[in-house]
Structure 1
Amino acid sequence: MSHRIREAMRENGFDVFGLEGGDVEVDETFIGHDKTIKPKGEKRGRGYHHKNKVLSLVDRKSGKARSMVIDDVKASTIMPILQANISREARILTDEAGQYVHVGKVFDGGHAFTRHGAGEYVSSDDATVHTNTIEGFFSVFKRGMKGVYQHCGHNHLHRYLAEYDHRYNHRKALGFNDFERAEAVLKGVS
């Protein structure tokens, strides 16, 4: 039943992020163990290859998030997703990861990034260049997944992402109350 409710939380509309040259933060995270990659009983090594990969976008202007499960973190996988979800005039904000090297060529607003590896989390040249908003979203998501749900199969991860996107997109800071959040879920049921 709870998976049905999470499905009802999935966004039905397809709003494009970064309209009118707005800023869109893009980042990926890794969570849990993808059992389709490393079957149970096999030794788990370091790294992230055996984990579930999640790509998220946060539109700073609207304050909304959109997340999806992806197969890998290659540019060939991520770029089509960005082009389908983000307006061409948007400015893309990321970390220094290699898969985002050519983002500036696709989006007219350009591409700005911070160098987390060098200890830079907010650009010293421009204080608007950071990924702190999306890192905060990931913090809430991971705390919930590790603390509340604890176990999530790869085949259900998209539903949990829909729940956390819904919570983020209908939070009090955006002017939503409990009744409006519940109403939005009920609209998703139909």
Structure 2
Amino acid sequence: EAGMYRRVGQEFASHDVVTHSKDEYVRYEGAKTVHTNTVEGFYSIFKRGMKGVYQHCAEHHLHRYLAEFDFRYSNRSALGVEDNVRSLIALKGAAGKRLTFHGPRYSEA
């Protein structure tokens, strides 16, 4: 349908589309199931978080919030990743990186 879904899919190892205009909502390809439920569920969680927890998000930081939600969704308990393992994964990902908002400000008195 919308061309943007095909462009987005090029960045992922596994991405398929269904054609709602042809009454296709789910497709089975062997053991693989193609549908939109996963992305709709992820977006629902992201949207609730942005409205409920992170109410004032600048657009130029949106990619950081999205990366956080992606990490939490991809490493959730439902997938067998418990808190201690999730913490280790986060610490390994942060090793050697430094996030600064801006440099220190000095005022001359």
TM-score (norm 2): 0.67
AA aligned to 2:19 is F
Report the counterpart of residue 94 of structure 2 in structure 1.
189
Name the Cα RMSD after superposition.
2.9
CA deviations on 1:109-141 (whole Å, 9 max, x unpaired) are xxx3224xx9x6834xx4644201110000000
What are the ranges of 5 or more consecutive residues in structure 1 without an aligned counterpart? 1-72, 94-111
AA aligned to 1:157 is L
Which residues of 2 match residues 165-176 of structure 1 at below 5 A? 165-176=70-81
- Bigger Cα Rg: 2
| Percent of paired sites with the same residue | 48
AA aligned to 2:16 is I
Report the counterpart of residue 92 of structure 1 in structure 2.
16
Q: Does 1:122 align with 2:28?
A: no
Which residues of 2 match residues 28-177 of structure 1 at below 5 A? 75=4, 79=7, 82-86=9-13, 92-93=16-17, 112-115=18-21, 122-123=25-26, 126=27, 128-177=33-82
Deviation at 1:82, TM superposition (A): 3.2
Change in 2 beyond 3 A, CA 1:121/1:153:
farther
Q: Where is the helix percentage greater, Structure 1 or Structure 2?
A: 2
Deviation at 1:173, TM superposition (A): 1.3
Aligned residues: 90
Q: Where is the strand percentage greater, Structure 1 or Structure 2?
A: 1
What are the ranges of 5 or more consecutive residues in structure 2 without an aligned counterpart? 96-109
Change in 2 beyond 3 A, CA 1:91/1:161:
closer
Deviation at 1:150, TM superposition (A): 0.8
Q: 4+ residue stretches of structure 1 with deviation over 3 A?
A: 126-129
Q: Write the distance in 1 (CA, Å) between the matches of 2:66 and 2:35.
A: 23
Q: Write the distance in 1 (CA, Å) between the matches of 2:55 and 2:64.
A: 15
Deviation at 1:184, TM superposition (A): 0.9
CA deviations on 1:25-51 (whole Å, 9 max, x unpaired) are xxxxxxxxxxxxxxxxxxxxxxxxxxx
Q: Write the distance in 1 (CA, Å) between the matches of 2:38 and 2:9.
A: 18
